[in-house]
Structure 1
Amino acid sequence: MEEYISFPVLFSNKNFSKLTEEACFILSKDFKNSLVFHEKDLDIAMLNKAIEELSVQYHVNNIALHKSSWSKEAEIIKEPHFCTVLQNLLLYFPACISTDESGKRLFLSDRNHHRIIIFDGDGTILDCIGSCPGFEDGEFESAKLLRPSASFYHETEDCLYIVDSENHAIRRADLDRRVLETVYPTSSIHKKSTGLWTWIRNKLGFTSDDDVKFEEHDSPSLTCPWHLIKTEDNFLIISRSFETLWVMDFELGEIKEVVKGFPNTLEFCRHFILEKVSLLKKMPDYLLQHQRDANLAREGLPYAGLISCITTFENHIIMCDIVGQGVLKLNRESGISSSFQFSNLGMLGLPYWLSFPLESFYAVATGLSVRQTDHIQQFSLLPGRVDIRLNIDIPTDTELVEPLHESCIWCQARGAATELSAVENVAGSSEKVGVAQQWYDELDNLAFWAPESELVVEDENATMDTNPEDKRMHIDCVVNTSPGTSEVIIYAALYLKLRRNHVLQDDNDQEKFAARIANILNPKENESFDGKSCTKFLLKSNRDLRDLFFIKPLHVRIKLNSQDHPKADNSKDIVLTDSSLNIDVSLN
């Protein structure tokens, strides 16, 4: 619990008055004079101030643990072990959705993966905004969000406005330039140089606090915004509980009015809310009740909490399935509902929780993050070129959703080894590499630039799988070793689903399927993982779990010990050798 929960969990023998089904908050100092706030009476500002005071105290007590001269402390966001397991679902709490009807695109807030997924009406993923949790502008692959919620597509600008809920901000994604920027609050750092040196300083955490001060506004700041409604000249930004509404000037990007209280909020935007509620009432009762139970319901308007998770697209009503971790679509004519089956998963790249951004390296060194290793093997060989092939057996009762894409693979050679080729599981251009790989290649090119005539050119056929009878997956990479010790680290995200048994067609034991998925998702090092809780979580979806996509992470470390170069006959020149390694990896 202490690894993630940043607020105290108290056990008390005090008798509290009977509570209704709505949420309540207990606020106390030094465990004395506890105050109970029912949701309808809650002052968000008071609660936020109390949490900030606790956070400051926690930060002071733990500053020694995170002390580093170069780390970006604010960018390291720890997530719980249980959360890490559920992260390996394709979607993790898909909370809100919006559409671009003319461009035939949908924008899904994959909230607990801290990203916006752009896909078409067939479920083909077109793009993805956000790389990992944090607060950073930039290109889609490097920009950071923190649990985004509602969004709004502005057709004239071809921009997507996003409620970055836990950053308490409004972001704008330019879909043409593929750049994410902050609309509110504005920061002085955005007016400074955006050159390469500034980018490097920001990445390494050398930017001083004075450089990132937010500009002063007369208007109050946002606090945990959730819903977003566009009027003619303004944005209406609403908290999830509907207790606070902020009116933001669309052109100026400034908050010009704040409305407090649910009745006042409802009165302010009743037309927009009722329009979405009318869509919700067209969904089947069993689906709607399921989603309502998982959301915040208000007395008198029970479906208000769902207004940002439903939209229209062509002849369908689209709704986020928060319980089933998917996206539902209802055909208006036939009344048939189904779930999107997503494809082109390679657009999502390697998930952030599998790779190591530069600013997070120190966290591993200090023991703050540990990853399961599926396979470790050591070899002694002569220095020179080494062709490495991984032969991977996935769990026997699973199958790949689609072939492994090169963007879902990350490789690094360190020590006395240098990587020569992109990691690929199919033949193709060596320039098609994952985002994490591109990031390190760019740094390598800056530090070790060589004339083009000296570069090594790889044979494209070297990574082609020519054995059609071999049903195993293959990942190939090439490194060049020098005398000494080195290590090759390979990460990959394998998108799997349970294999259907066509012989036993009556086998529809969803509890068995849920238990099996929980077993596959459970990292071996996580002894505190509760498989029963995960199984129960999966069974809530009321869907065929054989259609559920999930990630099986792959982590392989190959340790190489290279001897001295053999001498040529003239005792002056050295002899370069070529070696091949075939490594069998089982994920069963």
Structure 2
Amino acid sequence: MLLFQMENGACYIIFKNFRNARVYHEKGLDVEMLKKAVEELNVLPNGNSSSATNLKSTWVKQVEVLKEPYLCSSLRNLLLHFPGCISADESSDRLFLSDSNHHRIIITDGNGKILDCVCISFTNSVFFELQYSFEDGEFEFAKLARPGASFYNEDEDCLYIVDSENHAIRRADMERRVVETLYPTFSINKKNNSLWSWIENKLGFRRDEDTQSEEFGSQSLMFPWHLMKSEDDSMLIINRSFESLWIMDLASGEIKEVVTGFSKILEICGELIMEKVHFVKQMPHDLLQQQIDSSCSTKELPYAGLISSLTAIQNHIIMCDMVGQRMLKLSKESGVLSNFQFSNFGILGLPYWLSFPLERVYSVAGGLQGAWTHQLQHLGLLPGRVDIKLNVDIPLDTELVEPLQEGCIWLQARGAATEVSRAEGILESSEKVGVSQQWYDELDNLAFSTAESELTIEDDNATSDSKSDDERVHIDCAVNTSPGISEVIICAAFYLKLRRDPDQQDSQEKYAARITDILNPERIGGMRRDLCIHLLLKSNRDLRDLVFMKPLHVRIKLDCVDHPKAVHNSKEIILTDSKIDFTLSLHT
């Protein structure tokens, strides 16, 4: 391996005998940390070569949160970001897609309607630190790290998931909508994943033994990817390079045997692998060749790396296109290959990377480095009900894939404002509660309420949206304000694609450049922009079919003076109604 850095340029890593020789990194990469990591992997204290037992080092985090930069990648705003693996439940017509680089499992029916999602949803986990990590709990709160293959066990109604970068096997109970860890066993994962636990952890009250993990041993999983079930109800877990096989007991989660070497792996599960390889070969050869270049297939069996990237349901074969960032559907009867169309995006909520940790919300907008793409001016109003209407213009050369759904909108009121439901209409009481008391009341309710009650509260917070004849998207909400300073934060996710104009046909290069500019809140140039365009063009598809997400961030600051007093009774409080109507543009 060679490692060097160009002056005022990017860092490069060149690996010997790797199919893809160069790995590019942005400027600012800590080269010394990378060197230290390589040295720790290659040298053990006793002088032997590296193994899984030496991973308790300063740069590897086993249970700690793995944080991503807020603006780490333009491609994360695509609907799918490296859809790596897929499995099916044919009896219930369900597909389980591992949207790996979005750290979630998307559950759809055979027609692409999104039914559920095992993920980190901004809408339902706003009080938690919203980055991918390792946590059990309900689907809205569970955290994965680049999930790989999965298989559905109909007898248990459970989905078994390879949690690749957590080196774990997770089990999702589909009826209870709860994710549990089958292997390994961390005590931290058995704790209550509630807001109160989060507060205890922030205040330093969590005991040290709660966060201790098991030491990695020679039988530990290391970056598993493929998952198959044998006839004796054992799980066969294989890493991406087909160098290691772990045989795990399905009931107990105990690793019974570890096998290394591709030839030995074929001796044990070669029949299952070849059965899946035969299945893979039904797809068009040109498409498979593209996927092989993006997978870690072996020279001995080139298609082996794709065995978890496709599945059969009804009369179709569904395949993950890891290059084109899409799903494909092949009809077994006609042999026609088409794009797999998704719908019902509101189930996905807002992506986790649109949020900010709780302690950073009040940061100065300039310090957020462009994350708030829209910020409205400071407004002075009288206390009372404030109706807010946002009129949003989407880019002229784009169109909504489907109308904006309530699940893709998030609203929060802070300070001297409280959110109200549009359905309530009339306030129950004219008596105002102090802001400090409101804060303590909300903390009490959150600390002693269950996750279910929290979800119910959020579901009651109604926002409405519609698309009118003027082609603008309207978002309506309302808040109650008391005297003082308050802030209303509105976030939304618009799922778009380029508009098809029959009178104008541009090149795919122009489409790729336009999508790149829309995906980036700030115009970028140079190598980063060129690399993004190159990755989009690499898919060899009509980029007008590519679905991507454009975020909306709005902060409205309100300064409310004291309540006006009634003429006849100075103690009577007069409530006022205000309306705010804004027009915003998502144009870049």
Deviations 1:511-533 (A, max 9, x none): 11111100100122867882221
Q: Deviations over 1:239-282 (max 9, x none)?
A: 11111111111122101111111221222211111111111111
Query: 1:116 is matched with which residue?
Result: 105
Match of 1:78 in 2: 68
Paired position in structure 2 for 1:159:
158
- Taking only the aligned residue pairs, the percentage that are identical comes to 58
Match of 1:201, SS state, is helix
Describe how 1:88-487 pairs up with structure 2 within 5 A: 88-131=77-120, 132-189=131-188, 197-198=196-197, 201=200, 206-214=205-213, 220-231=219-230, 232-356=232-356, 358=358, 371-421=371-421, 445-446=445-446, 468-487=468-487
> Who is 1:46 aligned against?
50
Secondary structure of 2:91's match?
A: coil
Partner of 1:583: helix, strand, or coil? strand
The question of whether the paired residues in 2 share the 8 Å contact of 1:98 and 1:107 is answered with yes
Aligned residue number for residue 521 of structure 1: 519
Structure 1 pair 441–258 and aligned structure 2 pair: CA distance change class (3 A): farther
Residues 435-584 of structure 1: pairs in structure 2 closer than 5 A: 445-446=445-446, 468-504=468-504, 507-524=505-522, 530-569=528-567, 570-584=569-583
- How far 1:502 moved relative to its partner? 2.6
After superposing the two structures, state which structure 1 stretch, 345-354 or 182-191, moved more.
182-191
State the alpha-carbon separation in 1 of the partners of residues 535 and 22 from structure 2: 25
For residues 375 and 365 of structure 2, what CA distance do their matches in structure 1 show?
21
Contact 1:413 1:488 in 2 (8 A): yes
1:245 and 1:260 in contact (8 A); partners too = yes
Q: Deviations over 1:39-95 (max 9, x none)?
A: xxxxx9826667753517xx9xxxxxxxxxxxxx93351247352x11100000000
Q: Which amino acid aligns with 1:177?
A: R
TM-aligned CA distance change 1:95 to 1:360, over 3 Å: farther
Amino acid in the other structure paired with 2:57 = E
Alignment TM-score, normalising by the size of structure 1: 0.81
Query: Counterpart of 2:285 in structure 1: which amino acid?
Result: D
SS of 1:410's equivalent? Answer: strand
Structure 1 residue 367: deviation in Å?
Answer: 6.6
Q: Which residue of 1 aligns with 2:436?
A: none
How much does 1:471 deviate? 2.1
Distance in 2 separating the partners of 1:30 and 1:251: 39
Q: Deviations over 1:134-174 (max 9, x none)?
A: 11111101111010000011010010000000001000000
Corresponding residue of 1:66: none
Separation in 2 of the partners of 1:74 and 1:20?
Answer: 33
Could you tell me whether the CA contact under 8 Å between 2:417 and 2:479 is conserved in 1? yes
What amino acid maps onto 2:413 in structure 1?
A
Tell me the alpha carbon deviations over residues 383-424 of structure 1, each in whole angstroms, 9 at most, x when there is no partner. Answer: 111111001111011111111111111111112211113799
The one-letter code of the counterpart of 2:249 is D
SS of match in other structure, 1:75: coil
**By how many angstroms is 1:369 displaced?**
7.9
Structure 2: gaps (5+ residues): 7-12, 24-30, 43-47, 121-130, 425-439, 450-456
The answer to whether the 8 Å contact 1:423/1:476 transfers is: no
Aligned residues: 531
Q: Measure the CA separation in 2 of the matches of 1:402 and 1:479.
A: 27
The offset of 1:481, in angstroms, is 1.4
TM-fit CA distance, 1:212 = 3.0
Q: CA deviation at 1:190?
A: 5.4
Mean Cα displacement is larger for which, 282-291 or 349-358? Answer: 349-358
Inter-partner Cα distance in structure 1 for 2:552 and 2:258: 49
Q: Is 1:55 aligned with 2:59?
A: yes
> Which shows bigger deviation, 360-369 or 119-128?
360-369
Mapped to 2, the partners of 1:515 and 1:125 lie a distance apart of 29
CA–CA distance in 2 between the matches of 1:464 and 1:476? 6
Deviation at 1:445, TM superposition (A): 4.2
Once residues 229 and 316 of structure 2 are traced to their aligned partners in structure 1, the CA distance between those partners, rounded to angstroms, is: 22
Q: Say if 2:420 and 2:461, in contact at 8 Å, map to a contact too.
A: no
CA RMSD of aligned residues (A): 4.0
* 1:310 positional shift: 1.5
Distance 1:338 1:167, change over 3 A: same
Query: Contact between 2:517 and 2:523, CA under 8 Å: does it hold in 1?
Result: no
**Is the CA contact 1:383–1:480 (under 8 Å) kept in the aligned structure 2?**
yes
Q: 1:444 deviation in Å?
A: 7.6
SS at match of 1:411: strand
Q: Is the 8 A contact 2:136 2:190 kept in 1?
A: no
Give the distance between the partners of 2:361 and 2:423, measured in 1 at CA. Answer: 22
Residues of 2 paired with 1:359 and 1:423: CA distance?
Answer: 32
Q: Residue 65 of structure 1 aligns with which residue?
A: none
Deviation at 1:117, TM superposition (A): 0.4
**Is 1:393–1:586's contact at 8 Å kept on the other side of the alignment?**
yes
Distance verdict in 2 for CA 1:150–1:443, change over 3 Å: farther
* Structure 2: distance between partners of 1:534 and 1:25: 16
Distance 1:528 1:82 in 2: 16
Partner SS for 1:74: coil
Distance in 2 separating the partners of 1:387 and 1:479: 7
Partner of 1:392, secondary structure, is strand
Assess if the C-alpha contact under 8 Å between 1:423 and 1:475 holds in 2.
Answer: no
Q: CA deviation at 1:23?
A: 6.6
Q: What is the CA–CA distance in structure 2 between the aligned matches of 1:423 and 1:289, rounded to whole Å?
A: 55
Query: 1:105 Cα deviation (Å)?
Result: 0.5
Q: CA deviation at 1:30?
A: 11
* Cα displacement (A) at 1:572: 2.6
Aligned AA for 1:567? K
2:14·2:22 contact (CA, 8 Å) conserved in 1? Answer: no
Alpha-carbon shift at residue 187 of structure 1 (Å): 2.2
Q: Which stretch has the larger CA shift, 182-191 or 480-489?
A: 182-191
Give, in angstroms, the shift of residue 574 of structure 1: 2.6
Q: Name the CA shift for 1:525/1:76 in 2 (closer, same or farther; >3 Å).
A: farther
Distance change >3 Å, CA 49–CA 10, structure 1 → 2: farther
Shift of 1:179: 0.5
CA contact (8 A) 1:81 1:529 kept: no
Residue 373 of structure 1, CA deviation: 2.5
- 1:440-480 deviation digits (Å, cap 9, x = unpaired): 9986844799xxxxxx9xx9999576x94332111111111
Provide the rounded CA distance (Å) in 2 between the counterparts of 1:488 and 1:321. Answer: 40
- CA displacement at 1:362 relative to structure 2: 10
Quick one: distance in 2 between partners of 1:336 and 1:172?
35
Structure 1: which 5+ residue stretches go unaligned? 1-6, 39-43, 60-72, 425-439, 450-455
